[in-house]
Structure 1
Amino acid sequence: MLESFKGSCRFLQYTPSKPAKYGIKLFFLVDAMTFYTNKLEICGGKQREGPYFQDTSTNALVKRMIEPISGTGQNVTMDNWFTSVPLTEQLLTDHDLTVLGTMRKNKPEILNEFRRKGLEVYSTVFGYKQKETLLSYCPKKDKTVLLLSTMHNDGVIDKTSEKNFQKSLSFIIKRKEE
């Protein structure tokens, strides 16, 4: 999360893609059921060597953030800035945590079949590796979304969500016809 802020601050972040371009970057570990914040960390940017030095790499950040829930068997949902195959394998084996997250297409461990454009709209491609499932979904022409999961191990699509999707799709089509 980028909390909007325009004052004088050493660790002020600039993110041109956000509505508030200047702010303080915050990382949260939040329980999805209770909305309780287990852990919060402020991004201090690149740090100098010294007694308070913290590694700011994504893997080190994730490992610090999951400390309160390590070994509990819970699921961690994260965005594409954090998700990678080596990290998900490590969280599953060393910390007993499953992961569900979107992935960036530039990761070296992703096969070209999952990155390619020209897939049929609403089509899904599944890939399996031991305990991981990689999914490539095409929501619209020339756009693919990649999901990585250690929580799911089959290519079954929930029929209730598929029915709800078809209902919303027919509603959108009717609205366009009007």
Structure 2
Amino acid sequence: MHDQLTVKTLVGKFRNTYIPEKETAIDEGMIAWKGRLIFRVYMPDKPDKYSIKAYLVCESTSGYIWNFEIYCGKSRPIKELVVDLLGPQLLEKGYHLYQDNYYNSVELCEMLLQRNTYVCGTFRLDRGAPKELKDDIKNLKKKGKFVFPRKGQVLIQVWRDKRDVKLISTLHTAKIVESAKTNRKGEKICRPEVTGDYNKHMRGVDRADQMLHYYPCSRKTVKWTKKLVFFLLQVAALNSFILFKMNTTNEKYKKRKYKFKDFILDCVQKMTEPNKQCGEGEESRNEVDDESIASDSSAVTPPPAALKDRQ
């Protein structure tokens, strides 16, 4: 109960403190955990293979974690999950959402399009692609060829590279552009415009996950709730660092040399300075009290008036 309250409080702070830019991304983040747990997951492609899964909404450019939800073992409909992650603050505002094939489907794209939210990402053919598309893919014999069926504003594009790259978008055309990469002959490689934008803007969650793994604060524990609290503290520190770099006017902190590690050390130093001063004050106060007690004990206490009369 307390953990749920802590998560809701922090997520509310993340969402109310900052409004992300137009390009946002949804992906999974992992909280390493090898102990016994009902909703522990195994994902071999991730650095932490055994872990607690969290769905993250990040700003693509900075990696600011705007919202997240812990996977608790019960699968939810993808449409419901995505809508809850975006919330009324991002829906119907013209945002561009980048996500992988775990989330994308033709039905989801159409639903988000009605709410003025545009989608781009990879795609699975069994998520609403037309049946004749499979036959068209078989005819893609040469590298660089592509097909692009449309359903209204929903574009499905399959591009033959080393393997078939399946993409879906509601904000792109089937335009082919030159990339910065070249082949062995020195010729520039042409690829769909969707691919370049997806690779560029899908890095938000990866960037945040990478920075969280640089300086972990988690410790060995037998309680998964403590592991979750450590993760929340790391996310709060990372978001604070990103906002600090955005809003600071001091050129010293705007430089790339000022890293997340330096920010954490500065925060620790600032947080411990008042406590240190209080500690010194208490010690000096105790010394004064001890001296006064010693001086009082050395003096002879005069007898009360009643005792004088008896004497």
Q: What TM-score, normalized by structure 1, do the two folds share?
A: 0.76
Q: Which residue of 1 aligns with 2:158?
A: 136
Whether the aligned pair in 2 keeps the contact of 1:31 and 1:38 (CA below 8 Å) is yes
Q: Which residue of 2 aligns with 1:50?
A: none
Shift in CA distance, 62/114, structure 1 to aligned 2, threshold 3 Å? farther
- Matches of 2:170 and 2:91 in 1, distance apart? 15
- Matches of 2:119 and 2:176 in 1, distance apart? 18
Percent sequence identity is: 28
Shift in CA distance, 27/129, structure 1 to aligned 2, threshold 3 Å? same
Q: How many residues align?
A: 156
Which of 156, 168, 171 is the equivalent residue of 2:175?
Answer: 156
- Matches of 2:156 and 2:54 in 1, distance apart? 28
Q: How does 1:11-90 map to 2 (within 5 A)?
A: 11-46=39-74, 56-67=76-87, 68-90=89-111
Gap runs ≥5 in structure 1: 47-54, 174-178
**What secondary structure, in the 3-state scheme, does the structure 2 residue paired with 1:73 have?**
coil
Between 121-130 and 105-114, report the one with greater CA deviation: 105-114
Q: Which residue of 1 aligns with 2:302?
A: none
Q: Which residue of 2 aligns with 1:52?
A: none
Q: CA deviation at 1:27?
A: 0.7
Identify, as 1 or 2, the structure richer in helix: 2
Deviations 1:32-51 (A, max 9, x none): 133221110111112xxxxx
- Matches of 1:114 and 1:66 in 2, distance apart? 35
Deviations 1:141-167 (A, max 9, x none): xx2111000001x32223xxx1523x2
Q: CA deviation at 1:86?
A: 0.5
**What secondary structure, in the 3-state scheme, does the structure 1 residue paired with 2:161 have?**
strand
Q: Which residue of 2 aligns with 1:176?
A: none
Structure of higher RCO (CA pairs closer than 8 Å, 6+ residues apart): 2
- Matches of 1:172 and 1:44 in 2, distance apart? 50
Shift in CA distance, 84/44, structure 1 to aligned 2, threshold 3 Å? same
Alignment RMSD, CA only? 2.3
Deviations 1:105-127 (A, max 9, x none): 33343432455375311222122
**What secondary structure, in the 3-state scheme, does the structure 2 residue paired with 1:38 have?**
strand
- Matches of 1:11 and 1:163 in 2, distance apart? 42
Shift in CA distance, 146/39, structure 1 to aligned 2, threshold 3 Å? same
- Matches of 2:43 and 2:85 in 1, distance apart? 22
**What secondary structure, in the 3-state scheme, does the structure 1 residue paired with 2:147 have?**
strand
Q: What TM-score, normalized by structure 2, do the two folds share?
A: 0.46
Shift in CA distance, 91/114, structure 1 to aligned 2, threshold 3 Å? farther
**What secondary structure, in the 3-state scheme, does the structure 1 residue paired with 2:97 have?**
strand
Whether the aligned pair in 2 keeps the contact of 1:76 and 1:99 (CA below 8 Å) is yes
Identify, as 1 or 2, the structure richer in strand: 1
Greater gyration radius: 2
- Matches of 1:9 and 1:114 in 2, distance apart? 45
Give the AA of the match of 2:93.
T
